[in-house]
Structure 1
Amino acid sequence: MQQHELDALFDRQAAGYDARWVRMSPIRESLLFLIETVFADLPEDARLLCVGAGTGAEIAHLARRFPRWRFLALDPSTQMIAACRARAEREGFADRCGFHAGVIDTLPDAPAFDGATCLLVSQFLLDPLERTAFFASIARRLHAGGTLAWADLAWDTDAPDYPAMLKLWMETMSGAGLDADALEQIRANYARDVAILPPDRVAALAQAGGFLPPLRFHQAGMIHGWCARTAR
């Protein structure tokens, strides 16, 4: 799927995105709970870049936990950025946020952030070289020793257990209220539009992009979470 197609897809989904995935919130909350610890040694007045911020769920969580942090919400979907801004205004942390509709390479190419999040974003980059370049773009915008926390769908799709894992994951999302047609569409999207790689391979791509060896600190079903500091 091309970037403009992704943008259009998420533009269409923005209004109902949170409601659609509310049954999956325990996975998101467990990931964000651990990200708190990953970021615990960032400065009290840290500046955080949220790549693919969507409707702002991780910003809202971290804004409550770290009341002096400032955030830049980055997302290529204008409707997602609008939803993120509305959440920030509604929940009272908009004065600590900037909002930028675009991909990461539309930001100034200079280290300006102490940390970054990137949740379920890099998996849409099918070309490994493009995915490494994406991680490199994040690394260049972090201060020396800055921390990235990210999550992606990951599994060894050639492993004997992948069909069973995929079935379990589909059933998990079925429990989140998706009907059979929606699940079949997701299954087709995974095969066509999502780069589901072995977890070690995803970590290696981030390391090739300028990070120290990543730590995989979270797994829930097919969603894995990693953290890494910049190698600079």
Structure 2
Amino acid sequence: MDRTQLEAIFDQQAGAYDQQWAKLAAFRDGIHLLMASIFSGLPPDARLLCVGAGTGAEIHFFAERFPGWTFVAVEPSAGMVEAARSRAQRHGYLERCTFHNGYLESLPDAAPFDGATSLLVSQFLLDAGERTEFFRAIATRLKPGGVLASSDLASDREAPHYASLLDVWLRTLAASDLTPERAQQMRAAYDRDVAILPVPRVEEIIASAGFEPPVQFFQAGLIHAWYTRRA
């Protein structure tokens, strides 16, 4: 799936995205809770780069807990940007946010960031080299020692257990009121449009992009999350 198609899909979903996945919020909340500890050592006036910021859920979480932080949200879907901006305005931290409707390579140069997030983003880059360059682009925008927290779907698709785990995962997603048709579409999309790689391979890609070996801090079903520092 190319960029234009992905943008169109997320534009269509933006208005109801948070409501649709509300029943699975425990996954998001678990990652956010642990990220708060991972990022707790950043300066009181830290600047955070949020790549693929979506509707701004992690920005909202951090904005409430770290009142001196500022955020740059990078998001190619205009609908998602509008949802994130509206959330920030409703909750009173809009002036601490900069929204870039586009991709990381088009983000204007700025002072290096203290930390970065990339949640369920790099999995859409099917080419391993492109995925490496994605993480390298994040690394170059971080201060030396800057912290990255990332998450992606990951599993060994050749392993005997993968089919069973995928069935469990899709039944879990169905709890978010997915129609059976939509669930089948997601199964097909995982085969065609999502680079679900073994955990060691994802870690290798991150480390090869200018980061220290990543540490896995979360797993729920197919979702895995890691933290690391710019080398």
For structure 1, the 5+ residue unaligned runs are none
Q: Distance in 2 between matches of 1:209 and 1:49?
A: 17
Q: Deviations over 1:189-217 (max 9, x none)?
A: 00000000011111110111110100000
Q: Deviations over 1:104-154 (max 9, x none)?
A: 001135652100000000000000000000000000000111000010000
Q: Distance in 2 between matches of 1:20 and 1:218?
A: 23
For 1:202, give the aligned amino acid.
V
**Secondary structure of the equivalent of 1:203?**
helix
Percent identity, please. Answer: 52
**Secondary structure of the equivalent of 1:170?**
helix
For 1:186, give the aligned amino acid.
M
In structure 1, the residue matched to 2:4 is: 4
For 1:48, give the aligned amino acid.
L
Q: Distance in 2 between matches of 1:216 and 1:92?
A: 33
CA contact (8 A) 1:110 1:140 kept: no
For 1:213, give the aligned amino acid.
P
In structure 1, the residue matched to 2:14 is: 14
**Secondary structure of the equivalent of 1:176?**
coil
Q: Deviations over 1:52-106 (max 9, x none)?
A: 0000000000111111100011101111111100000001111111111010001
CA contact (8 A) 1:109 1:140 kept: no
Q: Distance in 2 between matches of 1:91 and 1:73?
A: 16
Q: Distance in 2 between matches of 1:109 and 1:183?
A: 40
In structure 1, the residue matched to 2:214 is: 214
In structure 2, the residue matched to 1:43 is: 43
In structure 2, the residue matched to 1:60 is: 60
Q: Distance in 2 between matches of 1:203 and 1:101?
A: 28
Query: RMSD in angstroms over aligned alpha carbons?
Result: 0.9
**Alignment map for 1:49-198 (pairs within 5 Å):** 49-109=49-109, 112-198=112-198
Post-superposition offset of 1:38: 0.8
Post-superposition offset of 1:174: 1.1
Q: Distance in 2 between matches of 1:55 and 1:72?
A: 13
Q: Distance in 1 between matches of 2:27 and 2:208?
A: 28
For 1:101, give the aligned amino acid.
N
Q: Distance in 1 between matches of 2:175 and 2:55?
A: 22
Q: Distance in 2 between matches of 1:75 and 1:37?
A: 25
Q: Distance in 1 between matches of 2:8 and 2:211?
A: 31
For structure 2, the 5+ residue unaligned runs are none
For 2:207, give the aligned amino acid.
Q
Post-superposition offset of 1:164: 0.7
Q: Distance in 1 between matches of 2:101 and 2:178?
A: 29
Q: Distance in 1 between matches of 2:173 and 2:146?
A: 34
For 2:130, give the aligned amino acid.
E
Q: Deviations over 1:14-71 (max 9, x none)?
A: 1111111111100100000000011011111100000000000000001111111000
**Secondary structure of the equivalent of 1:61?**
helix
Post-superposition offset of 1:177: 1.2
Q: TM-score, normalised by structure 1?
A: 0.98
Q: TM-score, normalised by structure 2?
A: 0.98
